Amino acid sequence: MEAQPGVFVSKVSTDEWGPDSEVPGSEMHELVHADGVHAGLTRFTDVDGPVTWTPEQREVALVLEGSVRIQVAGGGALDLGVGDFFSLPPGVETTWDITTPFKEMWVLASD
């Protein structure tokens, strides 16, 4: 919600969720999409197999609920849970094995 011009406010406990067309099986709550920054929340309540994701911009995220094992193409795996803070570079293919319910706060930003 835009509280004032350019000032956006929301709550982690929001009930305002919509489907995320870029990440099948997930729901998104968008905080802001302006000035080269896209930020919000994603949640999964049920997952049918691994989820692939390749961010187009630098992604920084914080796990708020659940856990995930992220396999990074050409690299190792990240085992993340509540409170873990991570970042992925643009263009790297990842495969996510998610334990539901899962919720993360994320920011995508370009240089």
52 pLDDT higher than 90:
yes
Percent of the chain with pLDDT over 70: 99
Sequence-distant (6+) residues with CB within 8 A of 49 are none
Tell me which fold the domain 24-109 belongs to.
Jelly Rolls (2.60.120)
Q: What are the pLDDT digits (tens) for 55-109? A: 999 999 999 999 999 999 998 999 999 999 999 999 999 999 999 999 999 999 9
pLDDT given at position 98? 97
Cβ proximity of 58 and 87 under 8 Å: yes
Domain boundaries, the chain: 24-109
Q: How confident is the model at residue 50 (pLDDT cuts 50, 70, 90)?
A: very high
